[in-house]
Amino acid sequence: MAYQDKPYPSQETPLQKIITAENVGLFVKTARLERGLTQKDLAGDTLSERTIRRIENGKVLPNLFTFFYILYRLDLPVERFLYFINNLFL
């Protein structure tokens, strides 16, 4: 009998349902406001205010480069984002 892969039954929520545009936007907006920054401040010379606004409003999910740039501008480690997401689902 040949071995066949079977789906692993898991109680865990897939990342696609956790890391959504809305959750990332909430994180970015919360962190920005905690630091007293405007959307223009956060955008810097690399992004536009419109891009920040669309991310914060949950309209788009930023790519990794944009996300890490935002973390850099906010002076936050990626662990802070993971902590935030984890607390949303506790």
Euclidean distance between CA atoms 81 and 88, whole angstroms: 11
The model's pLDDT over 37-80, given as tens digits with 9 standing for 90+, comes to 999 999 999 999 999 999 999 999 999 999 999 999 999 999 99
Encode pLDDT of 21-37 as tens digits.
Answer: 999 999 999 999 999 99
User: Global pTM?
Assistant: 0.81
Q: How many helices (H) and strands (E) does the chain have?
A: 6, 0
Rounded to 5°, the CA angle 61-69-34 comes to 85
What does the alpha-carbon distance between residue 34 and residue 86 come to, in Å, rounded to a whole number?
A: 19
